[in-house]
């Protein structure tokens, strides 16, 4: 049986999404799993939960831990890392643009470039110059893509995809959804990919255990 696809729900302002975005395609290829990239607005989800910012900002001890954790994990994975001087960074424009990438097949390399700008180069990414640079680097028609991204239809599409994330029960990023199961956090990436290769994954669900 072929592996099931894994939906990868992410936000460019999410530091742990950075770790997964930079690794998921290579790991998925090893297990012959298709990755469906699903951008959503994490800030909208946080506000619905009553948080005005990231919990890493609202809880200083957690935030201090997270930055040390990021340094360790980036060293472990061989990823470049620079703690952002602004966190969480607004990324509305690249989030709209990346939806066009989902349609046209360049969502993965564009996402990796945006994540690198944010978490390895400490650059503002929510502007035409940064997004245009990333698109041009990939050999894409930046003006045409930006025009598509800024249409009312595409803006509504991002809002609806964020609503879909909320309907799935996402409360943070990254999230991985496979066969109706939600896996939350970069440390669950391997579990999500493994779940995709299980022939009858629902048999492992607690609601389906024999009485």
Is residue 68 exposed (0-12), middle (13-18) or buried (19+ Cβ within 10 Å)?
A: exposed
What are the distances in angstroms from CA 54 to CA 15, 43, 128? 11, 8, 25
Alpha carbon distance 167, 164 (integer Å): 5
Alpha carbon distance 111, 70 (integer Å): 19
Name the 3-class secondary structure at 36. strand
Phi-psi region of 148 (alpha: psi -120 to 50; beta: other; left: phi over 0): alpha
Name the 3-class secondary structure at 141. coil
Q: Which residue matches tokens 């245009």? A: 132
**Is 14 labeled as catalytic in the residue annotation?**
yes
Q: Which residue matches tokens 């997004």? A: 131
Is residue 105 exposed (0-12), middle (13-18) or buried (19+ Cβ within 10 Å)?
A: exposed
Spot the catalytic one: 14, 20, 54, 111.
14
> Catalytic amino acids?
14
């Amino acid at each position: 049986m072929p592996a099931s696809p894994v939906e990868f729900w992410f936000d460019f302002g999410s530091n742990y999404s950075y770790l997964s975005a930079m690794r998921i395609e290579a790991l998925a290829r090893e297990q012959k799993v298709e990755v469906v990239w699903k951008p959503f607005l994490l800030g909208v989800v946080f506000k619905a939960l009553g948080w005005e910012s990231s919990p890493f900002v609202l809880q200083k001890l957690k935030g201090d831990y997270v930055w040390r954790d990021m340094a360790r994990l980036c060293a472990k994975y061989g990823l470049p890392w620079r703690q952002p001087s602004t966190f969480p960074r607004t990324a509305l424009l690249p989030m709209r643009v990346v939806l066009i990438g989902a349609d046209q097949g360049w969502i993965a390399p564009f996402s990796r470039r945006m994540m690198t700008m944010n978490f390895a180069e400490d650059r503002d990414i929510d502007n035409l110059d940064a997004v245009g640079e990333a698109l041009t680097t990939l050999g894409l028609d930046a003006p045409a893509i930006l025009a598509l991204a800024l249409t009312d239809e595409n803006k509504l599409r991002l809002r609806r995809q964020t609503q879909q994330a909320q309907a799935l029960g996402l409360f943070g990023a990254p999230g991985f959804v496979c066969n109706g199961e939600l896996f939350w956090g970069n440390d669950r990436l391997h579990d999500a990919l493994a779940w995709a290769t299980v022939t009858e994954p629902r048999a492992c669900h607690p609601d389906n255990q024999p009485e």
